[in-house]
Amino acid sequence: MNTLSYGLLGLLANESLSGYDLMLKMNLFWHTRHSQIYPLLAKLEEEKYIEFTLVKQSGKPDKKVYTPTKMGIEAVKEWLKKITIEPVNKDEMLLKTYCIHILDEVSAKKVLKDREQMYLNKILATEKKINDFKKQCGGVLYDTDSGHFGRFVILNKVLGDAKLGMEWCQWAYSLYNKDKVINIFEQNPFDI
């Protein structure tokens, strides 16, 4: 099985989902298309890793809602224990920053401030998601056996990444004011 197959099984281990809902969930982690997901679901079903129930819909075709079998859960457990490869990084901002010396100072600072604003927006949105999630799930979030635990940990990773990204923008911006350079590593960026 490929990583996407394991990912689909892992998502289904948290909750039963349709193919479309699986695509939406998977797109939180990396971009997928129907053309990738539906053939894998058919293969996973054929190999007895998942099963489905038909849900009647009025005015639409019936919807398949998938659930992992015991064999599917065991496959996910084995996949989770394997070493994870280093993530592929494709960040346009890093490429732009590599070339930023071509811009005049005002334009370069604007690029950095725009990115800083993007990170601030992400911080505010993620903090809201975390607070809403806490209200919805309560103390269960800290229970490592809860289906909510993984989402809670991921939201905090997203928040930490956004805070570090914002601090990096501020540091890079400060390089244009050479007398006021700040060191982003003097404080713990993950103090959330």
Average of per-residue pLDDT across 45-65 = 93
CA 135 to chain centre: 21
Please check whether residues 102 and 158 belong to one and the same domain: yes
Please check whether residues 103 and 49 belong to one and the same domain: no
pTM over 0.75: no
Where do we find the tokens 């070339």?
A: 99
Residue 55's DSSP bridge partners are: 63
Question: Are the CB atoms for 111 and 96 separated by under 8 Å?
Answer: yes
Domain end (from 28, 58, 81): 81
Average of per-residue pLDDT across 6-10 = 93
Higher pLDDT: 177 or 163? It is 163
CA dihedral 112, 115, 120, 121 (to 10 degrees): 150
Q: Is 117 inside any structural domain? A: yes
pLDDT at 192: 41
Residue 155 has phi, psi (to 5 degrees) of -60, -40
- Extract the tokens encoding 46: 């054929």
